[in-house]
A and B are shown apart, each in its own frame.
Chain A
Amino acid sequence: MSAAAKSNDLYKWLAALALAIIIPVLFAGSYSLGLITETLIFAIAAMSLDLLMGYGGLVSFGHAAFFGLGAYGTVLLAVKLGFSVWLSALCGISVATVAAAAIGFFCVRMTGVAFLMLTLAFAQLIFSVGVKWRAIGGSDGIGGLVKPDLFLWSLADPLTMYLFTLAIFALVLVAMRRLIASQFGHALVGIRENETRMRAMGFATQQIRLVAFILAGFFGSIGGTLYALYNGFVSPDALSWGMSGMLLLMVVLGGAGSLMGPAIGAGVFLLMKHFVSSHTQHWLLVVGVIFVGCVMFFRQGIWGMLKRQAGGSAP
């Protein structure tokens, strides 16, 4: 990429960031702001899954485990043990990352359907603890998280929560883009395309996949932690395979292997959930048909389509 193109790119991102801050602040009511906040949270989670799915070629049906662990860690430590919320959030993310390392150690030995089943089994294992263990709220979950202050502002204010989430989202996006552009990212994609060849070239393919798994868990738990901060409570639904499936839907909807795609997928999915489900009982049908359509005809998802449109006009 030429220097000119690079700075051109930079301007585009700056413009997007400025819009992301200005538009909601100026125009959105608090509800829309909340909706955008939620979208950003799920965008982070979906992007983290995309690291595995899109770049690693590993379809996980248990990504909710890390999302949920981040959320549970945050709420439990703050509410039950009285830790400060920020410390709890850091602990939640750490716990989830360590869990990702432990679970990933086993899962990355497999690929394809076996990987899918194994991630599902591990997530269900954690889910079963969340549901059965009454000390952590059992199937009712646990609430009462007091929203913390960020310097002078309280996260209880929707605008602060939004700006905070936006900042984290931007950080995660930049970090993941760098990761994917790095040698590690190229190796990951190389393994997806042809593992034997990569191994022959001297890459420790399993280790690389493990690192990807841990990073996906880490970023996923950031999403979960934000979700806990946003809602003030957590329930086992955050750990359930329904949640894993929802993240999967978002990735496929937006287009796997593009980061921005899953983020857009998250937005489209949540918008549909909020507006379609309020006005028709057939919202599942709408989701199902769009999803099947994406898999059949638009494997590149919404983002892929947008890019193809744009690609037609510009070189």
Chain B
Amino acid sequence: MKHLLTSTQSRRAVLKGAAASTALAFEGAFGAAIAQGADTIKIGALNVYTKGYGVFGEAAYKGMMLYLDENNGMVAGRKVEILREDDEFNPQVGLQKLRKLVESDKVQVIMGPLGSHVALAMVDYLRANGTPWICTGAGATVLTKLRLPNFFRPTVSNWQVAYAMGEWAAKNLAKDAAIVASDFVTGHDIANSFKESYLKGGGKVVKEIYPPITATDFSAYISDLRASAPGLTYCFFGGTDAARFVKQFDQFGLKGKSTLVGFQSVLDTDTFSGQGKSAVGGISSGIYSELLDTPENKVFVERYRAKYKAMPGIFEETGYSALRCVDEAAKAVGGKIEDRPAFLAAMAKVSFVAPRGPISFDPVTHQAIQNIYIRRAKEENNQIVNEVIDVVRQMGDFPGNKA
């Protein structure tokens, strides 16, 4: 009960903050500078909140709000105001909104986005501008190669997750695989990382299919897949496509014949609702599972369920832990988040046990070093959940990124 109370209070505080910032934004447009309360930390949550991917942006936001609730809406003793902006999964819009957050709202930290293409469009601007950027979704392997001193990724790198699966799948599942991935940079990034490691583990790739992201229906590709009858099918799709693919994979009778293996977002809490029982038995690698049997995770899941009446998934945990990274670093510099060099140096040293397990940052690339879990979807109390069947401990960043 007490917990619920703080939750509404802090939400009200945020709402009040939002109203104040409306006034600020309009003032800003006409050039009048208004002195801001120096004690508030403003964080820009730039992410996709609409269209087919909106659920993931929302998930990260929910995780952040839960963390704030637990800490009375504060980070390092300072009130936090989260400003949400929707990038519409469109790099042009993302850049517009980024400028607004940085130049008009004067946020101290940017968190987000989900889309790697949006993130890549943001790189030049944030490199020049220097605002600390905590990535909560975009997994493009190359992002940590770009060496932005102000960029940290306390979440997945595509390479980490897909590479961990490759060798494991070759050893434990089957020696021949088909790869199906959406035809855009992320799809190829993930497919290549998996392939490299799968071949290394002694597997053979018999077919590769790259459907366009505009594909409405996957039946044509699935029919094509069945003709080559691989022992396992490794797939990556984003948003609504992931749900459709998994469902149709089942409907066309492939599920019994070829093991469905996927990237973390293909089989996760947010997609299970659209996939239903078709997802059961699907194996995926990911940085988190809601069934992790650790004290940190149990507390997290319990609180998350109390607040939102649903199970958390990868992006909820990411939002939660990413904000904790900011909190830890801010505490280390005594709350002086405006001292960028000190804050960034403190970020690089952040290390703690998150619900997902121990995380720390690669000192060179700023990629999170973390466990990768091999998960199997199962049905439990009329709910689909991911049980952990194996762990690849403390995966680092893609070696090529450090060169």
Contacts and interface: CB of A to CB of B under 8 A. Distances in A.
State if A and B touch, Cβ cutoff 8 Å.
Answer: yes
Interface of A: 24, 26-32, 34-35, 38, 131-132, 138-141, 143-144, 156, 231-233, 235, 237-238, 271, 273-275, 277-279, 281
A248 B266 CA distance: 37
Contacts of B121: 141, 143, 231, 233, 235
B91 A233 contact: yes
B151 to A, nearest CB: 16
Contact of B25 (A139, A233, A237, A278): A278
Contacts of B86: 277
Nearest to B83: A278
Interface string B95-117: 11001101110000000000011
A235 B184 contact: no
Interface residues of B, number: 40
Interface in B77-94: 83-86, 90-93
B128 interface: yes
A139 B187 CA distance: 11
Nearest to B99: A34
Contacts of B117: 139-141, 235
A233 B86 CA distance: 19
A278 B30 contact: no
Contact of A27 (B30, B95, B102): B30
Interface of B: 18, 22, 25-26, 28-33, 49, 83-86, 90-93, 95-96, 99-100, 102-104, 116-117, 120-121, 123-125, 128, 183-185, 212-214
Nearest to A231: B95
Interface of A is mostly: helix
B326 to A, nearest CB: 22
A38 B95 CA distance: 12
Given A139-B184, A139-B213, A278-B25, A235 B91 contact: yes
Given A235-B91, A279-B18, A139 B183 contact: yes
B35 to A, nearest CB: 14
Contact of B91 (A32, A141, A275): A141
A237 B96 contact: no
A32 B31 contact: yes
A31 B28 contact: yes
A138 B103 contact: no
Contact of A140 (B22, B28, B184, B214): B184
B185 A274 contact: no
Q: In this complex, which of B33, B84, B124, B184 has the most chain A Cβ atoms within 10 angstroms of its Cβ?
A: B124
Contacts of B120: 140, 143
Contacts of A30: 103
Given A29-B104, A32-B28, A156 B214 contact: no
25 contacts: A24-B31, A29-B103, A30-B103, A31-B102, A32-B29, A32-B31, A32-B104, A38-B96, A131-B212, A131-B214, A138-B185, A140-B184, A141-B117, A143-B120, A143-B121, A143-B123, A144-B124, A231-B121, A233-B95, A237-B91, A237-B93, A277-B85, A278-B100, A279-B18, A281-B49
A29 B120 CA distance: 26
B338 to A, nearest CB: 18
